[in-house]
Amino acid sequence: MSYNSLKLDIQDKIAHIQLNRPNQYNSMNPDFWRELPVVVDQINQEAAARVIVLSSTGKHFCAGMDLAVFTEGNVTNNDVEIGRKHELLRHTVLQLQDVFNRLERARMPVLAAIQGGCIGGAVDMVSACDSRYCTEDAFFSIEETKLGMTADLGTLQRLPHLIPQGLMRELAYTGRRMQAIEAKEFGLVNRVYSDQQALLDGVMEIAAEIASRSPLAVTGCKEMINYARDHSVADGLNAMALWQTGMFQPQVDMAETFTAKLEKREPQFDELCAIDAPIK
State residue 70's pLDDT score: 67
State residue 146's pLDDT score: 93
Are 191 and 109 contained in the same domain? yes
- Domain contains 269: no
Whether residue 117 has pLDDT greater than 80: yes
Q: What DSSP character marks residue 112?
A: E
- Span 166-175, pLDDT tens digits: 999 999 999 9
What is the average pLDDT across 183-196? 98
CB hemisphere CA count around 256 (13 angstroms): 13
Walk across the sheet containing 139-141 and list its strands: 117-119, 139-141, 177-179
- Domain contains 57: yes
Query: Structural domain of residue 234, as residue ranges?
Result: 215-262
Whether residue 279 has pLDDT greater than 70: no
State residue 80's pLDDT score: 83
Are 121 and 175 contained in the same domain? yes
State residue 248's pLDDT score: 82
Q: Kindly report the three-state secondary structure assignment for every residue of 231-262.
A: CCHHHHHHHHHHHHHHHCCHHHHHHHHHHHHH
Q: How far apart are CA 271 and CA 225, in angstroms?
A: 21
Are 254 and 156 contained in the same domain? no
State residue 53's pLDDT score: 98
Are 57 and 193 contained in the same domain? yes
Are 54 and 171 contained in the same domain? yes
- Domain contains 271: no
Provide the pLDDT confidence category of residue 69 given band limits of 50, 70 and 90.
confident
Q: How far apart are CA 114 and CA 60, in angstroms?
A: 8
Provide the pLDDT confidence category of residue 280 given band limits of 50, 70 and 90.
very low
- Domain contains 278: no
State residue 67's pLDDT score: 78
What is the average pLDDT across 133-158? 96
Are 249 and 110 contained in the same domain? no
- Domain contains 272: no
Provide the pLDDT confidence category of residue 206 given band limits of 50, 70 and 90.
very high
Whether residue 77 has pLDDT greater than 50: yes
- Domain contains 117: yes
Are 183 and 45 contained in the same domain? yes
Q: How far apart are CA 271 and CA 164, in angstroms?
A: 37
Whether residue 143 has pLDDT greater than 70: yes
Are 98 and 203 contained in the same domain? yes
Whether residue 134 has pLDDT greater than 70: yes
Task: Return the exposure string of 238-270: e unless at least 16 CB atoms fall within 10 Å of the residue's CB, then b.
Answer: eeeeeeeeeeeeeeebeeeeeeeeeeeeebebe
| Final residue before a domain boundary, out of 211, 228, 245 | 211
Tally of domains in the chain: 2
Q: Which of 66-70, 104-108, 214-218, 257-261 has the lowest mean pLDDT?
A: 66-70
Q: What CATH number does residue 241 fall under?
A: 1.10.12.10
Are 156 and 242 contained in the same domain? no
H runs (alpha helix) in the chain? 30-46, 67-70, 82-105, 121-127, 155-158, 165-174, 180-185, 196-211, 215-230, 233-247, 255-262
Whether residue 76 has pLDDT greater than 80: no
State residue 278's pLDDT score: 56
Are 159 and 229 contained in the same domain? no
Q: Which of 34-48, 56-70, 150-164 has the lowest mean pLDDT?
A: 56-70
- Span 3-30, pLDDT tens digits: 999 999 999 999 999 999 999 999 999 9
Q: How far apart are CA 131 and CA 184, in angstroms?
A: 12
Q: How far apart are CA 198 and CA 183, in angstroms?
A: 18
Q: What CATH number does residue 185 fall under?
A: 3.90.226.10
Q: What DSSP character marks residue 272?
A: P
Are 235 and 258 contained in the same domain? yes
Count of CB atoms situated within 10 Å of the CB of 210: 20
- Domain contains 277: no
- Domain contains 187: yes
Are 61 and 149 contained in the same domain? yes
State residue 74's pLDDT score: 54
Whether residue 276 has pLDDT greater than 90: no
What is the average pLDDT across 209-231? 96
Highest mean pLDDT among 61-70, 229-238, 253-262: 229-238
